Every structure is written in structure tokens, then in C-alpha cells.
Amino acid sequence: MKNLIKGLKKLSETTEVGFLEVLSPNFIKRYTNFSNFEEMLKSSGSIIESEKDFIELEKSPQWNDFVCQNTKFNSWEEMIKTSADLFFYQLLDN
């Protein structure tokens, strides 16, 4: 219970979580064929120069297919949800 309270306090102090914090190298190494998210993007052939590019990539069936073929997930949505769940679980557990 003490750890939960400590974790909730830490979570309440967190105002913004970076995308690469959630998709950490440890997460990527464990669940994909890559060492980090940047390597994964590069391998997909995707060029991301702006937030708009990334939003378009997320909607792309080709990206979803790439995720299915190169990760332990059945979709990009599943991958993101799992990474966020694990990130916040670890935050609460510390």
C-alpha cells in the first residue's frame, strides 16, 4: 500500500510523458526485433519529420502490417496500449 501511495504521488507530479519514455529501448528490445523505436521507424522505411507525418503513419495499414510482422503484437494500437500500461505500472510500482 505504501508503494502504491508513493507511485500515485509520483504519477500526480508527472505532467507530461514523452513518447520515447513509453516506448523505451527496454520495451522495444523485449517486444520487437529492434533495439529502439528510432531503429524500428528507420527499418520500416518511414520518414517522420513532423507530428503530422507521425499521425499519418499511425493511420497507415502498412505501418500496422509492419508492426504485426516485426513485433509480438497484432496491431499498433495493441503495442501502444501495452507500452503505456507497462510504463504506468512501473511508475506506480517504484
What predicted TM-score, i.e. pTM, was given to this entire model? 0.77
Phi, psi of 39 (to 5 degrees): -65, -40
At residue 82, the pLDDT reads: 96
Extract the residue ranges of the chain whose pLDDT is less than 70.
1-19, 94
Q: How far apart are CA 15 and CA 26, in angstroms?
A: 23
Q: What angle do CA 19, 21, 26 make, to 5 degrees?
A: 125
What is the grid cell recorded at 79? 503495442
pLDDT in tens, 54-77: 899 999 999 999 999 999 999 999
At residue 80, the pLDDT reads: 93
